[in-house]
Amino acid sequence: MLTIYSRIVVPFDGSVLSQKALEMAIKLIEQDKRIELDVLTVVNNEITGKPVYNVELQQESQRRAAAELQTTIKEKLALLPNRTRTIVLDGDPSKMILEFAKENNSDLIIMGSRGLSGLKELYLGSVSHHVVQKAACPVLIVK
Ligand SMILES: Nc1ncnc2c1ncn2[C@@H]1O[C@H](COP(=O)(O)OP(=O)(O)O)[C@@H](O)[C@H]1O
Ligand SMILES: [Mg+2]
């Protein structure tokens, strides 16, 4: 496992299962300081469901929430000798996760089977589903 995977990405939406995915990734990288870890949060710009009166304001507050999530993670990751990064991107979550993994040569994606959405998205687990189908590298789905 450790000799095969050297650059892990955890798509993190703050949900319990994405936290579990991050814990698993940390356990893995603790075994070898050469393994790198990226934690990626995507702020979804697609407005669905309820009417939104101020799109800019909503996006801004989502970005702030994502940055706050990342701050806590950053403190935790700083304790490790491994090279780690926390990243916030705007866009469609599954598209951005796939693009990020490709551009950064991630060789393992660790993510939750479910996330935050509840009723907000059309299909539950749509991000994990899409990423599993389309990723070029192995995907570890945490349940
Ligand atoms: N906006 C996002 N940014 C980063 N990772 C995400 C995002 N949305 C989902 N994920 C990842 O995908 C996993 C599954 O979530 P998702 O497919 O969206 O399920 P749900 O439909 O229940 O929200 C999450 O546990 C998380 O790892
Ligand atoms: Mg979701």
- The yes-or-no verdict on residue 128 having pLDDT over 90 is yes
Mutation test residue for ligand 1: of 127, 129, 132, 143, the one with most atoms within 8 Å of CB = 127
pLDDT higher than 80, residue 54: no
Q: What percent of the chain has pLDDT over 70?
A: 85
| Among protein residues, the one whose CA lies closest to atom 8 of ligand 1 | 13
Q: What's the whole-number mean pLDDT along residues 53-68? A: 78
pLDDT interval class at 40 (50, 70, 90): very high
Residue to mutate (ligand 1; options 100, 128, 131, 140; most atoms within 8 A of CB):
128
Would you list the DSSP string of the chain?
-TTT--EEEEE--S-HHHHHHHHHHHHHHTT-TT-EEEEEEEE-----SS--S-HHHHHHHHHHHHHHHHHHHHHHHTTSSS-EEEEEEES-HHHHHHHHHHHTT-SEEEEESS-S-TTSSSSTTHHHHHHHHH-SS-EEEE-
Instruction: Go through the domains of the chain in sequence order and give each one's CATH number.
Output: 7-142 (3.40.50.620)
